[in-house]
Structure 1
Amino acid sequence: MIELDSPGEVRKSEELNNINLSFYLKKKLGSSKRPLVINQFKKGFSNLTYSIIWDKNEYVLRKPPFGANIKSGHDMRREYNVLSNLSKYYNKVPKTYFFEDDKNVIGSSFYVMQRLNGIILRPNTPESSMPDKKDISKLSKNFIKTLTELHALKYKKVGLDDLGKGDGYGMRQIIGWSERYKNSKTDDIKEMNSLMSWLINNLPKQNKSSLIHNDYKYDNVVLDKDNISKIVGVLDWEMSTIGDPLFDLGTTLGYWVQSNDHPMLRKISLSSTTAEGNPSRMTLIDIYEKYSKVKVNNPVFYYAYGLFKICVIVQQIYYRFKKGYTNDKRFSNLIDIVKICSLVGRRSIEKNKIDDLF
């Protein structure tokens, strides 16, 4: 059985200044009868997430990774503002408490938010620990239904109309991710060059703009411990913006690995979606169309885009590792993800479908 998502010991070189943070929390939250306790949620690859216990109360602290120089992807104030506004209108995000831009406290900006307790289906969760087929099937439908709910939110009413420029979103994404890839490139991967060219030349027309999460996958949702098919929270809003909702769906499709996918794609385990009960990628699109009332006319483009975007995100992390900005050994083989995901993207384009590619 899957256990509640829990933090562990902080990784070396990612420790926080306990003394400074204790003084800061005393000013913000009052005195604590016990010393500050800091642990780390170590599963993520991007912004660093910590559990902090102060005077018997647990909070979550988020900060940029060490060595990060990708401003738009690690803007703590932006992420804080998104959650602060959303939490007033949407009950599936954690409440925020305060943001701090003074780097003298822990060396970077950070914010503190509510701890949402529950279960998170992490990549590489053993099949024997996964929920049963019936619960997984219910969860997958609720997972996509929650995505359509996010896309249906009136973002101007929520106060997020300045979060991004909706019009022209697709072109900006392809150009932007292509530039990020070139700036962090470490290896010559022909499939990546091919994907960049194909995406820019096959861009679909944008029909609408909405709030999009931009990293929506199983391990970014919190599940009810007593009803695992129920989603109680959506986490990691660092890349959220206003844009084309079908690009958001494309990112989800990119993370959605199936049991009959390429062995290497299954091995790297982008998400815990190979368990029995999870639908195919095309069935995910059917579910999305049912709840959103939006027709997805070009699934190959959105799937290829999702894979390309994942490749670039991973490439940026790998680049930081190669440059010595982080010593996290998990990053040493990330280039393999770039290689296989770009290969699958090209295969999808060549076969003009998103399922049964190998």
Structure 2
Amino acid sequence: MQDTQPVRSGEELDSRALEDYLKRHLSSFPSGELHVRQFGAGHSNLTYELKKGDFEAVLRRPPLGPVAPKAHDMKREYTILKALHDRFPLAPRPLMYSDESVLGAPFFLMERKRGIVLDTEWPEGVEGSHQLGQSISKEMVDRLVELHNLEYQGTELETIGKPEGFMERQVHGWIKRYDKALTDDVKSGERIKKWFIDHTPSSSEASVIHYDYKLNNAMFNKNNYSRMVGLFDWEMTTVGDPMADLGVALGYWIQKDDPESLRHGLGKPPLTVQEGFFSRDEFIERYAKKSGRDVTNMKVYLAFAYFKLAGIVQQIYYRYKMGQTNDPRFAHMNHFVNHLIDLAEETARV
């Protein structure tokens, strides 16, 4: 099963300019034809596989068209990976960064990890089972705990975030982003926004948080599907409240008895709806046991995760509605935004 596909129409790279740049900056860059393919998953940044002779790498760049302020910051993600890789090897090793002068948008290169990304279907030849679902679930929880236990004080990672007042900034920041991308076919969310302002938890602890932690951002060993070998999409990473990170992970952790609107909001439901995978309660229970952290306030964090996801999806939908992208996957995302607002309110019981 290939994890790449031919480059989507309109999202091609200027291969000649890219190749010239790599020749100038990589002394070991081989001769021959540069092959470019695209990773098909994801709805935000564009990610490509580069291959030439024995050279291979992954290129990440922002989506086409105007982007939200402070979003899709390639230099920041590159800097995070530089600081993180040696301490948390699941994060890919970054290779180089370039501003927009080469491809018209900033980008960076990172190592090409090899393994299996599990998303909505099992790879060909793999049969799901209760035991396998349990093992993958445990690995997802345990690696999140490992990241949250990382000692970042006194390292470069200390500079990537401001833990004081983290949740207050998050609440006000995502309300602002949601309002800025508001269209006339989505809910304003006024009730849940006011509720968050009145119920923002005070963060008592800080850690390095991934903040986009989900099954299809992880890569597993091809011969042992319960061992993670890579973790991707570090764009939102910061130093902040680990409970917020757990909340985001739970927001993406769809279970089989969730409403259809959540299970199918981004297409086919993830494998987490299948036999053996943890429920959200089981995910929380193992996290609490492994980390020793207090998880009694998770309702607030999960409700906020749904609202934050609504903001992310709405930013994508806004670009589609404004004609800044023509990706047909985005055409009906406004319905998912409305479902997420409802779900945030239901979770918070406002």
Which one of 40, 43, 53 corresponds to residue 41 of structure 2?
43
Which one of 257, 261, 266 corresponds to residue 260 of structure 1?
257
Structure 1 residue 96 corresponds to structure 2 residue 94? yes
RMSD: 1.9
- Helix, strand or coil for the counterpart of 1:72? coil
1:118-129 paired onto structure 2 within 5 Å: 118-123=115-120
- Helix, strand or coil for the counterpart of 2:180? helix
1:18-57 paired onto structure 2 within 5 Å: 18-30=15-27, 31-57=29-55
Task: Name the structure 1 match of 2:297.
Answer: 298
**Would you say the 8 A contact 2:34–2:51 is kept in 1?**
yes
- Helix, strand or coil for the counterpart of 2:148? helix
**Would you say the 8 A contact 1:68–1:74 is kept in 2?**
no
Shift in Å at residue 84 of structure 1?
A: 0.9
Structure 1 residue 193 corresponds to structure 2 residue 190? yes
Task: Name the structure 2 match of 1:354.
Answer: none
Which 4+ runs in 1 deviate beyond 4 A? Answer: 124-130, 188-191
Quick one: structure 1 residues 287 and 127, their matched pair in 2 at CA, closer, same or farther if it must change by over 3 Å?
A: farther
**Would you say the 8 A contact 1:92–1:234 is kept in 2?**
yes
Structure 1, unpaired ranges of 5+: 352-358
Q: Which moved more, 1:190-199 or 1:176-185?
A: 190-199
Which one of 196, 207, 210 corresponds to residue 210 of structure 1?
207
1:252 maps to amino acid: A
1:226 maps to amino acid: N
In 2, Cα distance between equivalents of 1:21 and 1:164: 32
Quick one: structure 1 residues 109 and 193, their matched pair in 2 at CA, closer, same or farther if it must change by over 3 Å?
A: same
Q: Which moved more, 1:125-134 or 1:207-216?
A: 125-134
In 2, Cα distance between equivalents of 1:128 and 1:52: 27
2:201 maps to amino acid: P
**Would you say the 8 A contact 1:119–1:225 is kept in 2?**
yes
1:80-119 paired onto structure 2 within 5 Å: 80-101=78-99, 103-119=100-116
Percent of aligned pairs with the same amino acid: 38
Shift in Å at residue 232 of structure 1?
A: 0.9
- Helix, strand or coil for the counterpart of 2:235? coil
Deviation by residue 1:99-119 (Cα, 9 ceiling, x = unmatched): 111x23111111111001111
- Helix, strand or coil for the counterpart of 1:227? coil
Shift in Å at residue 129 of structure 1?
A: 6.0
In 2, Cα distance between equivalents of 1:66 and 1:263: 30
**Would you say the 8 A contact 1:89–1:158 is kept in 2?**
no
Quick one: structure 1 residues 245 and 332, their matched pair in 2 at CA, closer, same or farther if it must change by over 3 Å?
A: same
In 2, Cα distance between equivalents of 1:68 and 1:277: 42
Quick one: structure 1 residues 318 and 189, their matched pair in 2 at CA, closer, same or farther if it must change by over 3 Å?
A: closer
Task: Name the structure 2 match of 1:74.
Answer: 72
Which one of 214, 217, 222 corresponds to residue 220 of structure 1?
217
Structure 1 residue 179 corresponds to structure 2 residue 176? yes
In 2, Cα distance between equivalents of 1:130 and 1:181: 40
1:90 maps to amino acid: F
Shift in Å at residue 130 of structure 1?
A: 6.0
Deviation by residue 1:34-89 (Cα, 9 ceiling, x = unmatched): 11111110211111100011233211001111114224221111100111111121
2:341 maps to amino acid: S
Task: Name the structure 2 match of 1:325.
Answer: 324
In 1, Cα distance between equivalents of 2:121 and 2:239: 31
Shift in Å at residue 263 of structure 1?
A: 1.8
**Would you say the 8 A contact 1:253–1:303 is kept in 2?**
yes
Shift in Å at residue 127 of structure 1?
A: 12
1:231 maps to amino acid: M
Structure 2, unpaired ranges of 5+: none
TM-score, normalization by structure 2: 0.94
Deviation by residue 1:239-288 (Cα, 9 ceiling, x = unmatched): 10111110011111111111111122222246431011111111111111
In 1, Cα distance between equivalents of 2:276 and 2:104: 45
**Would you say the 8 A contact 1:308–1:341 is kept in 2?**
yes
**Would you say the 8 A contact 2:217–2:231 is kept in 1?**
yes
Quick one: structure 1 residues 299 and 179, their matched pair in 2 at CA, closer, same or farther if it must change by over 3 Å?
A: same
Structure 1 residue 307 corresponds to structure 2 residue 332? no
In 1, Cα distance between equivalents of 2:185 and 2:101: 40
Shift in Å at residue 350 of structure 1?
A: 2.4
Q: Which moved more, 1:341-350 or 1:296-305?
A: 341-350
Shift in Å at residue 181 of structure 1?
A: 0.3
- Helix, strand or coil for the counterpart of 1:343? helix
Shift in Å at residue 338 of structure 1?
A: 0.7
In 1, Cα distance between equivalents of 2:187 and 2:80: 37
TM-score, normalization by structure 1: 0.92
Task: Name the structure 1 match of 2:57.
Answer: 59
Deviation by residue 1:156-176 (Cα, 9 ceiling, x = unmatched): 344111101101000100100
